[in-house]
Homo-oligomer: A and B are copies of this chain.
């Protein structure tokens, strides 16, 4: 049993106090000195916790004034990571998934470079096709390409999983540290119209190509998915504490 670090304990406690409304939007948190005493800690772990709260969007800090609960704090921790908004706030459980197909395929030309596969590397990779539903309506069509170094045979048998990251973590002790997404607008073709049950003759979709990596920059999988953005709002949040960044 690993003991949680002190700063993580402080972070978790503050998150729960913010989420529960003990500290309300816009409210000032205790000063760093007061938090030192509250948690019987020195300033370093307290500041580590506050720093993480800030980068996770729970609070903002103003020099000379204090730390305050953010008005736009994340409603769910997964929001920014999945890229999907909490539009259906706390209705996450209404989302279901269905695995359509699992097969071994040679890497498509568009996928190989993203997984850093060399031309000579002809290893088959696992391709998985899934659909996500909201209240029974199909909203996202997904294709997953797993890196060949993961011989995932268990996918066929294990139908009722939620995330690929979950499986990678449990079966291979691999953690996702980073993900890049490329976003395009495309027209739905006949097949997508069918699976996503689109009525209009010309429906635009968001196509996202997501590549996920370990902390050591090794690609884990490529995920191409098509979103009916009329049903789902796609949301992204940028933070830049320090420098004034260029804008439109």
Contact = CB atoms under 8 A, between A and B. Distances in A.
B175 A244 contact: yes
Interface string A53-69: 00101001110000010
A178 B78 CA distance: 18
Interface string A160-184: 0011111001000001111111111
A238 B181 contact: yes
A19 interface: no
Given A204-B187, A205-B204, A216-B68, A223 B248 contact: yes
Interface string A139-170: 01010100000000000000000111110010
A134 interface: no
Highest count of chain B CB atoms <10 Å: which of A57, A175, A239: A239
Chain A interface size range: 35 or more
A13 interface: no
B235 A180 contact: yes
A217 to B, nearest CB: 4
B185 A217 contact: no
Nearest to A223: B248
Contacts of A223: 248
16 contacts: A55-B55, A62-B215, A82-B245, A82-B247, A83-B236, A132-B248, A176-B247, A177-B241, A178-B238, A181-B237, A182-B235, A183-B234, A183-B236, A204-B204, A210-B248, A212-B247
Interface of A: 26, 52, 55, 57, 60-62, 68, 70-72, 77-78, 80-83, 85, 130, 132, 140, 142, 144, 162-166, 169, 175-187, 202, 204-206, 210, 212-213, 215-217, 223, 225, 227, 229-230, 233-248
